[in-house]
Amino acid sequence: MAREQEVDVVVIGMGVGGEHVAERLAEEGLDVVGVEAELVGGECPYWACIPSKVMIRAGNLLAEARRVPGMDGETQVHADFAPVAARIRDEATDNWDDQVAVDRFTRKGGHFVRGRARLAGSGRVEVDGQSFAVRRGVVLATGSRPQIPPVPGLADVPYWTNRQAVSVKEPPASLLVLGGAIGVELAQGFSRFGTAVTVVEAIERLLPAEEPEAGELLAEVLQGEGVTVRAGARATGVRHADDMFRLTLDGGEEVTGQRLLVATGRRPDLSGLGLDTIGLDPTARALDVDGQMRAAHGVWGAGDLTGRRLFTHWRCTRPRSPYATSWACRARPPTAGPCPGSPSPTPRSAPSA
Ligand SMILES: Cc1cc2nc3c(=O)[nH]c(=O)nc-3n(C[C@H](O)[C@H](O)[C@H](O)COP(=O)(O)OP(=O)(O)OC[C@H]3O[C@@H](n4cnc5c(N)ncnc54)[C@H](O)[C@@H]3O)c2cc1C
């Protein structure tokens, strides 16, 4: 059996939350192990905030250019998605390679382990055969997963989540979008590149969690740009054949699209973390933490896993709020001064000084 290695802290999950915590603790001189199953930086820089905003910014430029005729001159706009896909691949994500982020962490003194970690009792973490005993604490920062609604047939068809949507080389001819804020922003992005988009939202208006006026205005804007908005329409079934998705709505109507994007929210996934080995409930909806982000003795949570405000920017922005998600900020010694601004996802392709 492999010998157990003693360290100060193990951070499980090196997305935006975990990466920030692990780097800060390493900078403070602690002996920190950061464990990541996929890419250091997590969802935000590779499949979420950053590539989606590259796409949206490019779409905004097209929309602005199309407003020129009749306002202040003439323009002819030919949308081309290829440079956008190239920017996402080469500049935003380093072709989905996290070496720069790994190096940045190890240069700060952290020890990086690629693998899937789980708790193995109080103060113990296992990663694919390696074993760590922690002196000070474990930070859980394993993020969230897309929440897939129980639409009959959905599990059997090759639908997209945000990951496939932001990794495409060219936009689809037509796109069905199920749900939420992420769906709406990608819907507009693709539509501005010529995709015929239909947004299906089960609730009566878009963005039901926001003010009613916001959802209504958004529907108006999208429709003005040629997006079909079906608010108050529940999907009751889906089929996929001949490179076409067919979504049945309650009432029997069918809408079709070459691709189907499911963006009906995200939720933390606590299973597989070994929470039961420290007396926590692995079936809970999110990791329950107190005002100091503590989930149990010697165990802290950060980021989406806590189920509170699933945004990258919801980190140091509210240091006094019980919902603030930066364990490192809260762990700062009182003499360290105020918590700095929200840590933006760190650049992939440029090493920090
Ligand atoms: C399309 C889209 C657009 C978005 N746009 C924005 C935006 O514009 N602004 C904004 O503020 N937020 C945005 N968000 C939300 C933002 O992406 C998340 O809030 C953020 O990524 C959460 O960071 P996190 O560190 O908690 O989790 P994640 O980024 O999910 O990272 C968790 C990491 O843990 C790893 N992991 C999981 N289990 C294990 C394990 N057992 N062992 C080791 N590693 C593990 C995963 O591989 C992952 O890398 C967007 C989300 C999406 C989907």
Q: For 199-241, write each residue's pLDDT tens digit.
A: 999 999 999 888 999 999 999 999 999 999 999 999 999 999 9
- Same structural domain for residues 24 and 136? yes
Residue at which a domain ends, from 248, 264, 280: 264
Which pLDDT belongs to residue 84? 98
Q: Is the pLDDT of residue 290 over 60?
A: yes
> Do 168 and 195 form a contact (C-beta atoms < 8 A)?
no
**Where do runs of H (alpha helix) occur along 28-67?**
43-47, 49-66
What CATH number corresponds to the domain at position 208?
A: 3.50.50.60
Which of 20, 102, 312, 342 for a ligand 1 pocket mutation test, highest count of atoms within 8 Å of Cβ? 312
Mean pLDDT of 264-293: 95
- Same structural domain for residues 308 and 203? no
- Distance in Å, CA 15 to ligand 1 centroid: 6
- Distance in Å, CA 232 to ligand 1 centroid: 29
Q: Distance between CA atoms of 178 and 117, rounded to whole angstroms? A: 32
Q: Which residues contact 122 (CB under 8 A, 6 or more apart)?
A: 277, 278, 297, 298
Which of 33, 35, 43 for a ligand 1 pocket mutation test, highest count of atoms within 8 Å of Cβ? 43
- Same structural domain for residues 136 and 252? no
> Do 135 and 6 form a contact (C-beta atoms < 8 A)?
yes
Mean pLDDT of 58-87: 97
Q: Distance between CA atoms of 253 and 166, rounded to whole angstroms? A: 29
- Same structural domain for residues 211 and 305? no
Model's pTM, two decimal places? 0.89
> Do 148 and 71 form a contact (C-beta atoms < 8 A)?
no
> Do 189 and 220 form a contact (C-beta atoms < 8 A)?
no
- Same structural domain for residues 11 and 137? yes
69 falls within a domain:
no
Which pLDDT belongs to residue 309? 66
User: Which of 49-53, 184-188, 292-296, 307-311 comes out lowest in average pLDDT?
Assistant: 307-311
- Same structural domain for residues 189 and 236? yes
Residue at which a domain ends, from 264, 294, 317: 264
Task: Tell me if residue 307 falls in helix, strand or coil.
Answer: coil
- When pLDDT is cut at 50, 70 and 90, the band that residue 313 belongs to is low
* pLDDT, the chain, mean: 89
126 falls within a domain:
yes
- Same structural domain for residues 136 and 234? no
339 falls within a domain:
no
71 falls within a domain:
no
Phi/psi at 309 (5° precision): 50, 85
70 falls within a domain:
no
Which pLDDT belongs to residue 168? 98
Which residue range forms the structural domain that includes residue 116?
A: 5-41+98-146+267-329
CA-closest residue to ligand 1 atom 51: 48
- Same structural domain for residues 212 and 314? no
83 falls within a domain:
no
Number of structural domains, the chain?
2
Pocket, ligand 1, Cβ cutoff 6 A: 12-13, 15-18, 35-39, 42-44, 48-49, 52-53, 116-117, 141-144, 162, 182, 273, 303-305, 310-313
| H-run or E-run covering 104 | helix 99-107
- Same structural domain for residues 36 and 176? no
- Same structural domain for residues 111 and 162? no
- 10 Å Cβ neighbour count for 110? 24
168 falls within a domain:
yes
CA-closest residue to ligand 1 atom 12: 311
Residue 217 CB burial class (10 angstroms; 0-12, 13-18, ≥19): middle
- Distance in Å, CA 19 to ligand 1 centroid: 11
> Do 35 and 139 form a contact (C-beta atoms < 8 A)?
no
- Distance in Å, CA 235 to ligand 1 centroid: 27
Which pLDDT belongs to residue 180? 83
- Distance in Å, CA 127 to ligand 1 centroid: 20
Which pLDDT belongs to residue 208? 87
- Same structural domain for residues 172 and 233? yes
Ligand 1, residue 302: give the atom nearest the CA. Answer: 26
- Distance in Å, CA 16 to ligand 1 centroid: 7
- Distance in Å, CA 137 to ligand 1 centroid: 22
- When pLDDT is cut at 50, 70 and 90, the band that residue 328 belongs to is very low
26 falls within a domain:
yes
- Same structural domain for residues 286 and 183? no
How far, CA to CA in Å, does 61 sit from each of 77, 173, 229?
10, 20, 23
